[in-house]
Structure 1
Amino acid sequence: MRMSNYGRESPSPGTKMGQWTEYCTREERITKNIAMKNGQKNGTWLDDEEIKAQNEGAFKNAYYEFDTSTHSRKNIDNRQYDRIFNADCNYDPKLHRDDRSNAKSRGLDVVNEETRRVTPLLSNAQYGGRPPLEIPDGKHRRVAVVKGEFFSNSRISLGQNKD
């Protein structure tokens, strides 16, 4: 079967996944062969104890902790993100949804503050509060009037020939 010459083929997601799997298995095979030549039985420079310790640490840092007794995942209350950024585990749905610790909009009621002021600080607080200064009346509008005698939308002249 001959390939098309009309452009570059964009592979489907299944094809991309297959190519990635093939690439990973090839890299793993090459790494294992090099490790076997160097006398490393695990395909890495780590010992069995170091590999076991590394895997246990990976499970503890994950979002879900793997329970070996029940062979299932359980939810962790204290996640890695919370430990790094010292985030509170409490959720208040009334607060502004902002994960920054110094969010300036927490506890502010902007609408009430703006309506109490004589001179507003925010210009968008006044939109719709007063009638417009100039009411559009349409006195100076321009209307394009096209006569059917000389204008044809299809650009085909249908004029009658005078012979």
Structure 2
Amino acid sequence: MTGHTRLYRRGATYYHRAVVPKDIINSYEKREETFSLRTKDRGEALQRVRVEAVRVDKLFAKHRRDQAGIKLTAPKPALSELTLDQIARTKRAYLHHLLDEDEDIRLDGFYDPEDHSAQLFETPRPTFEERQSGIEESDAFTRANLARGKRDVFLRSEAEEVFNLGPY
């Protein structure tokens, strides 16, 4: 069984021992955080030391924040409704995102089967008509899902991209 850097034994009892990090040692009240894990069983001690190591690391992080005068605020609760202003801003942000995306596609250019002098690209490009058809199909699919109350993975990924959210 592998050990843990903060686990040590005194007599038959296991202890947690963590040296206070150098960046806070001058302002921290102790030089190390040492306490009994209240077990003589090595397996149990390994489980407990991992939990306690996280707790102690949080204590160190809190001490750093306190020294820097940083206060964590609780996240605001989720809204049950959006205001008209929030809806308008969200709509503008999404439309801006769509326009940026569309501009990138247009700058890459469309494939024109009638232009025999066109440069060939490694990645196939759609024709303008294929792009337009794809948008219409996607719109119809999205409307059908919304009408049925189904969650759409694509729309969720769009929202994450527009608002720079992490995956849910």
| The structure with more radius of gyration | 1
Q: Which has the higher helix share?
A: 2
Where relative contact order (Cα < 8 A, 6+ residues apart) is larger, the structure is 2
- TM-score of Structure 1 vs Structure 2, range by shorter chain: under 0.3
* TM-score (normalised: structure 2): 0.22
